Amino acid sequence: MSQAEEKIAAVVVTYNRKDLLGQCLDSLLRQSRRLDALYIIDNHSSDGTYDDLLARNLIAPADDAGSGPVETTRPAATGGMIHYVRMAENTGGAGGFHEGMKRATAAGFDWLWLMDDDLLTAPDALEVLVQKRATLRSRGKDSVLLNSLVLARDGADGDVLAFPLQELTARGYWRRVYHWRLSEVQDQVQDGLYRWACPFNGTLVPARAVVEVGLPNKDFFLWGDERDFLWRAAKRFELYTAVDSRVFHPPGRAAGFDWRQYYGIRNALLINRHFRLPALRNAKLILSSLVKGLRHGRFGLLLVVRAIRDGLTGRLGRREEYHP
């Protein structure tokens, strides 16, 4: 299949951030390389997201689906189709990407461009990814995941990253080296490509990767599903960031200690199995987590103990006491 014939669908997962979602969708609908489809997976938002999209004429009215997801489809003014799915409950980022990627792959799209609702894409971001994909293919590299460069939205100099670029060894192993500025890795950029990917922030994934390595694990619920998918895919696909494909993300905030830490600790214990010396990694994680939990009293200690127990025994899914 030629590059021109390949179809690309964007998958955007959202929850209670209708203003950021609107900005994200506006930027996607202005892409110089037009999308063939746009999947909006709404995790049962309660902030008027559905009504806002209706008012902007981006989606068609949907019938009540009872206990199942609410679904509607309409053509976009710029071409392609917009598919809106309102989940019956909040399935977390993991469930949202699972659902969106499953639908887009089943519909026959060749590539999936993945992102949360707080990402803003430069007008040529997708076009550059497609160009770099063609460059890699001309070199015989067809099994690749391509990421846009994720810049801090408030970074005036275009150098500060919202998420760090990390490093891979020549054999594809992860190194614990983090670069928060593009300028720090310029000597490692070749033909506009850097060997790393930051899922799911403007990540272009071939549909066959979903077929070969599976969907994101929806039972992670929150935090870590994207890293688990990345390391499963990295066993068969090379990772690259196209540094001229720019997307913008709000600056990260220091994570406080709340219910979300449960999923971070639990899921990290499972993700460690992708690396060397997983038992040692888990031992370090357990010790540091217990110390952190003790600082937050009985609530903190109980949360950490439950996360450790569930992570080590593989008990996944959304816990009713730990969700928004």
Q: What is the pLDDT of residues 57-103, one digit of tens each?
A: 999 988 765 566 888 999 998 889 999 999 999 999 999 999 999 99
Q: Are residues 306 and 214 in the same domain?
A: no
Q: Are residues 188 and 266 in the same domain?
A: no
* H helices present in the chain, as ranges: 18-28, 49-55, 92-106, 125-138, 207-213, 225-233, 260-271, 278-294, 297-313
pLDDT at 117 over 80: yes
Asked if residue 139 is part of any domain, the answer here is yes
Domain count along the chain: 2
Query: pLDDT-derived band of residue 17, with 50, 70 and 90 as boundaries?
Result: very high
Q: Which of 249, 273, 294 is the last residue of a domain?
A: 249
Q: Which of 226, 249, 272 is the last residue of a domain?
A: 249
- What residues contact 26, with CB distance under 8 A and at least 6 apart? none
Question: What whole-number distance in Å separates Cα of residue 205 and Cα of residue 203?
Answer: 6
Q: Are residues 204 and 82 in the same domain?
A: yes
Would you give the DSSP letter of residue 88?
A: S
Asked if residue 303 is part of any domain, the answer here is yes
Q: Are residues 224 and 275 in the same domain?
A: no
pLDDT at 268 over 60: yes
Q: Are residues 245 and 271 in the same domain?
A: no
pLDDT digits (tens, 9 = 90+) for 186-238: 999 999 999 999 999 999 999 999 999 999 999 999 999 999 999 999 999 99
Show the domain range for 285: 260-313
Would you give the DSSP letter of residue 310?
A: H
For the question of whether the overall pTM of this predicted structure is more than 0.85, the answer is yes
* SS3 category, 147: strand
Q: Are residues 216 and 295 in the same domain?
A: no
Asked if residue 255 is part of any domain, the answer here is no
Q: Are residues 309 and 240 in the same domain?
A: no
Asked if residue 144 is part of any domain, the answer here is yes
Q: Are residues 101 and 208 in the same domain?
A: yes
Q: Which of 249, 275, 298 is the last residue of a domain?
A: 249
Asked if residue 8 is part of any domain, the answer here is yes
Asked if residue 324 is part of any domain, the answer here is no
Q: Are residues 69 and 210 in the same domain?
A: yes
Q: Are residues 265 and 240 in the same domain?
A: no
- Is the omega angle on the peptide bond into residue 248 within 30 degrees of 0, that is, cis? no
Q: Are residues 242 and 280 in the same domain?
A: no
pLDDT digits (tens, 9 = 90+) for 163-196: 999 987 766 667 778 899 999 999 999 999 999 9
Q: Are residues 271 and 214 in the same domain?
A: no
Asked if residue 323 is part of any domain, the answer here is no
* SS3 category, 238: strand
The pLDDT of residue 253: 66
Over residues 9-30, mean pLDDT: 97
Q: Check which CATH number belongs to the domain holding 49 and give it.
A: 3.90.550.10
Asked if residue 294 is part of any domain, the answer here is yes
Q: Up-side HSE of residue 215: CA atoms within 13 Å toward CB?
A: 18
